[in-house]
């Protein structure tokens, strides 16, 4: 028991360490870009802070810069009094900027873009490490083949309707090649493209076009997704395929009595093709009062095994099979990985502003959600948290370059307007604009964080419910 507790504690401490390292590391890299570019351009750097609010620890370096680690770990900043007045976020400057030389337009643009550039470089560096060590992936995440179709989807409490995939005519074994004209390479991309699709039919109902390969024939199938799950995301009722290769057989189980052995591949049940354990479980439950026939591939030989009725099991027993998840090590190209994350970020932004999309701010993740995802990834392993950090850094770069006041892109916009008009915008006007957008952005973060907390509470409740059922 003591060993288990120590292992559990170590795992949690290690996960927390990884979350802090990669989350704050991403912030540090961004601010380091601004810092180094400012020093290169001869611009005054007053403070370099990780986090906001009062300092936990700080010191003034020989270069005159105050380096701080602050209590609120939700970002950071480099105080550059010659470039922008962001006192609402960064605190008041003690430097008399009238005694400092003006900063050229080129230097401003270089300094503002440096943060995003360093995030991309950091993402590429992590992608190179992932390419070298490889990323564990299960077969069901690397495929685009449909493994099962859910007969019904619950769209409201107690209200179930036929799944859109079933109604549209998608079939088990169909290989999805495109969703709304976008090529897909794995199941995560399939799921994301469905959720972010913005097609509508003539009546305004959500519509998604699937291009599938069926028996070497390419078909385009129109599917009308439903807004399901607690988050009201587009769902069509499909899941990925994977080979049902037996990993273990419980002693004395119905599976063992049926003659199933480790390394057998279950390919059919009563001549119905199987590409998922979901279909196997549903079929057994639907025919629990009768014996069924399994088509099993053992080595190179196809045999038939008879499974007694499922209702012969005691209440505390199950069928007794676990399947090999087919985990393999994938070495993603660093350039392709960063490029794909760029495309995903732009796809998310376009879905957010598209009036025909069902993606809104409530579907996004704020700092709380990101930290939660990092924690879950850390529990999976180092490659998982590195992969997520690649995504976070690319998204951070894209977000910061948007022409929104307070963000780097907004500062670049102000500098460009000043360049075009021949003089900088009035400082009072800039302060008012940035104060207004600061309130707007903070309100958005609070709004998104509310849904983050609600999702976390819901997941905890589901986990508690499942744990109670298993007792």
Domain boundaries, the chain: 2-135+384-470, 139-241, 244-323
List of residues 6+ apart from 466 with CB closer than 8 A = none
Angstrom distance (rounded) from CA 299 to CA 414: 68
Closest to 367 (Cα-Cα) out of 25, 75, 68: 75
Read off the pLDDT of residues 386-427 as tens digits, 9 standing for 90 and up: 999 999 999 999 999 999 988 899 999 999 999 998 888 888
First to last CA, the chain: 20
- CATH ID of 139-241, from 2.30.110.10, 2.30.42.10, 3.40.50.720, 3.90.1150.10: 2.30.42.10
Q: Considering the entire predicted model, what is its pTM?
A: 0.83
Q: How far apart are CA 12 and CA 5, in angstroms?
A: 11
Average pLDDT, the chain: 86
DSSP lists the bridge partners of residue 78 as: 48
β-pair partners for 58: 68
Q: Does domain 244-323 have CATH number 2.30.42.10?
A: yes
Same fold, 139-241 and 244-323: yes
Q: Which of 405, 397, 396, 393 is nearest to 436 (CA)?
A: 405
Q: pLDDT over 70 for what percent of the chain?
A: 91
In the structure, what pLDDT confidence band is assigned to residue 319 with cuts at 50, 70 and 90? confident
- Say how many C-beta atoms besides its own lie within 10 A of residue 296's C-beta: 21
Residue with tokens 């994350």: 341
User: For the purposes of burial, counting CB atoms within 10 Å of the CB of 463, is it exposed (0-12), middle (13-18) or buried (19 or more)?
Assistant: exposed
Residue 133: which pLDDT band, with cuts at 50, 70 and 90? very high
Q: What percent of the chain has pLDDT over 90?
A: 39
304 in Cβ contact with 311 (< 8 Å): no
pLDDT in tens, 264-298: 999 999 988 888 988 888 888 888 888 899 999 99
């Amino acid at each position: 028991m003591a060993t288990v507790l120590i292992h559990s504690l170590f795992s949690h401490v290690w996960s927390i360490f990884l979350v802090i390292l990669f989350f704050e590391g991403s912030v540090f890299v961004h601010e380091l870009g601004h810092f180094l570019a400012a020093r290169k351009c001869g611009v005054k750097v007053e403070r370099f802070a990780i986090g906001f609010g009062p300092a936990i620890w700080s010191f003034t370096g020989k270069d005159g810069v105050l380096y701080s680690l602050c209590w609120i770990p939700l970002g950071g900043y480099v105080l550059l009094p010659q470039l922008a007045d962001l006192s609402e976020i960064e605190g008041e400057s003690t430097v008399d900027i009238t005694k400092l030389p003006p900063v050229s337009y080129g230097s401003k643009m270089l300094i503002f873009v440096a943060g995003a550039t360093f995030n991309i470089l950091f993402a590429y560096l992590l992608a190179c490490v992932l390419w070298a060590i490889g990323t564990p992936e299960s077969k069901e995440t690397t495929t685009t083949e449909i493994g099962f179709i859910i007969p019904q989807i619950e769209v409201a409490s107690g209200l179930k309707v036929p799944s859109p995939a079933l109604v549209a005519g998608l079939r088990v074994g169909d290989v999805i090649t495109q969703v709304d004209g976008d090529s897909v390479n794995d199941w995560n991309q399939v799921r994301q493209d469905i959720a972010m699709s913005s097609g509508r039919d003539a009546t305004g109902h959500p519509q998604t076009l699937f291009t599938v390969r069926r028996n070497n024939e390419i078909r385009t199938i129109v599917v009308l997704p439903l807004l399901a799950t607690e988050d009201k995301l587009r769902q069509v009722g499909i899941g990925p395929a994977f080979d049902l290769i037996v990993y273990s057989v419980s002693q004395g189980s119905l599976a063992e009595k049926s003659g199933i052995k480790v390394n057998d591949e279950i390919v059919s049940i009563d001549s119905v093709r199987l590409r998922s354990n979901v279909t196997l479980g549903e079929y057994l439950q639907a025919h629990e009062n009768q014996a069924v026939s399994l088509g099993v591939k053992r080595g190179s030989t196809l045999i038939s095994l008879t499974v007694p009725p499922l209702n012969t099991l005691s209440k505390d027993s199950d069928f007794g099979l676990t399947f090999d998840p087919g985990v393999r090590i994938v070495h993603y190209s660093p350039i392709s990985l960063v490029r794909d994350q760029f495309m995903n970020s732009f796809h998310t932004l376009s879905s957010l502003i598209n009036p025909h999309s069902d993606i809104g701010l409530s579907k996004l993740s704020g700092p709380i959600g990101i930290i939660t995802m990092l924690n879950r990834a850390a529990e999976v392993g180092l490659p998982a948290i590195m992969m997520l950090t690649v995504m976070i850094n690319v998204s951070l770069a894209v977000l910061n370059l948007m022409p929104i006041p307070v963000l780097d892109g907004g500062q670049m916009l102000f500098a460009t307007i000043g360049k075009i008009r021949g003089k900088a915008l009035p400082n009072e006007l800039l302060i008012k604009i940035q104060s207004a957008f600061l309130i707007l952005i903070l309100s958005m973060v609070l709004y998104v964080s509310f849904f983050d907390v609600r999702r976390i509470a819901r997941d905890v409740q589901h986990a508690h419910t499942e744990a109670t059922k298993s007792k």
